[in-house]
């Protein structure tokens, strides 16, 4: 005679059901707005904004680009706009100017996981409160609106600015995938970072506090300092 069946390993996830796909709708913040990427509305202004990066170094870590002409960039935008995965958004700055791009990708509703990537910011948006708010809006949608459990950030292991950005935003480093990709003819080892729903609910009050105190003036405290106080 055998005893009762042992439960499978792992922590039970009560009442779990697949999560919905992210909706292709705008996200409005105080200092920025994210809109579903559209070739007619965004491609021209984005190409001009990215051209402010005179040496083109902002394309170093992207799998595509730079784009020599506005027409080339528009064709690329037209080829990716409207897709469910990756789902691209244009980031508009506080003046309403398209100044960056980001996307949800590798969306797994069955498991409640999603990645943020394809992040490309024009010089005028880099290191601004609006750029941070854009990332927070995307995290908030994934965790609070859609109920996802895991939110990932991946980048070339040599991409120090991206790794610093992930750590600044509270992502946890999970390791290096060696020889993960070949990008523009060169090896890419990929650094993996992630945030769980528990991480988000712990950090969300810190994001709200930091954004509130920096929205109308200069940064008073470093974001990492504020998030460190969220235990």
Burial class (CB in 10 A: 0-12, 13-18, 19+), 25: exposed
Q: Give me the pLDDT at residue 148, please.
A: 98
What's 107's DSSP letter? E
For the chain, the distance separating the N- and C-terminal CA atoms, rounded to the nearest angstrom, is 49
Measured CA to CA, the distance from residue 210 to residue 197 in angstroms comes to: 20
Which has more pLDDT, 131 or 215? 131
Summarize the confidence of residues 94-117 as an average pLDDT.
Answer: 97
Instruction: Report the largest interatomic distance among the alpha carbons of the chain, rounded to a whole angstrom.
Output: 76
* CA–CA dist 231, 220 (Å, integer): 21
Mean per-residue pLDDT over the chain, rounded: 94
Residues 74-95: what's their mean pLDDT? 97
Rounded to an integer, what distance in angstroms lies between the CA atom of residue 49 and that of residue 58?
Answer: 11
- Between CA 29 and CA 138 the distance in angstroms is 11
Q: pLDDT tens across 127-143, in order?
A: 999 999 999 999 999 99
pLDDT band at 1 (very low <50, low <70, confident <90, very high): low
Residue 193 has pLDDT above 70, yes or no: yes
Distance between CA atoms of 94 and 91, rounded to whole angstroms?
10
Global confidence as pTM: 0.94
Taking residues 46-74, report their average pLDDT.
95
pLDDT computed for residue 224 by the predictor: 84
Helix (H, G, I), strand (E, B), or coil: what is residue 225?
helix
Mean pLDDT of 181-196: 97
DSSP 168-210: HTTPEEEEEEEEEEEETTEEEEEEEEEEEHHHHHHHHHHHHHH
Query: Is the Cα dihedral 25, 26, 29, 33 positive or negative?
Result: positive
Q: Report which DSSP code applies to 57.
A: G
Average pLDDT over residues 46-61: 93
Q: Contact 76/146 with Cβ under 8 angstroms? A: no
pLDDT of res. 4:
72
Averaged over 4-29, what is the pLDDT? 90
Q: Which residue has the tokens 């750029």?
A: 131
For the chain, domain boundaries: 27-217
Predicted confidence (pLDDT) at residue 217 exceeds the cutoff of 80: no
Q: The tokens of 94 are what?
A: 């506080």
Confidence of residue 231 (pLDDT cuts 50, 70, 90): low
Classify domain 27-217 at the CATH topology level.
Answer: Aminopeptidase (3.40.630)
Burial class for 37, CB neighbours closer than 10 Å (0-12, 13-18, 19+): buried
């Amino acid at each position: 005679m055998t005893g009762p069946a042992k439960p499978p390993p792992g922590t039970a996830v009560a009442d779990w059901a697949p999560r919905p796909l992210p909706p292709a709708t705008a996200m409005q913040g105080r200092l920025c707005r994210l809109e579903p990427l559209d070739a007619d509305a965004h491609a021209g202004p984005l190409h001009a904004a990215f051209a402010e990066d005179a040496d083109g170094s902002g394309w170093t870590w992207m799998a595509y680009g730079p784009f020599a002409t506005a027409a080339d960039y528009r064709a690329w935008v037209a080829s990716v706009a409207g897709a469910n995965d990756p789902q691209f958004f244009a980031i508009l700055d506080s003046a309403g100017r398209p100044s960056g791009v980001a996307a949800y990708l590798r969306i797994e509703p069955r498991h409640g996981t999603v990645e943020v990537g394809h992040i490309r910011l024009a010089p005028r948006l880099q290191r601004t409160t609006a750029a941070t708010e854009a990332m927070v809006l995307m995290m908030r949608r994934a965790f609070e609106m859609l109920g996802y459990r895991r939110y990932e950030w991946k980048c070339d292991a040599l991409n120090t600015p991206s790794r610093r950005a992930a750590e600044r935003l509270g992502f946890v480093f999970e390791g290096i995938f060696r020889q993960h990709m070949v990008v523009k003819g060169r090896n890419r080892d990929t650094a993996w970072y992630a945030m769980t729903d528990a991480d988000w609910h712990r950090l969300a009050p810190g994001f709200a506090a930091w954004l509130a105190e920096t929205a109308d003036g200069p940064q008073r405290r470093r974001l990492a300092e504020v998030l460190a106080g969220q235990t």
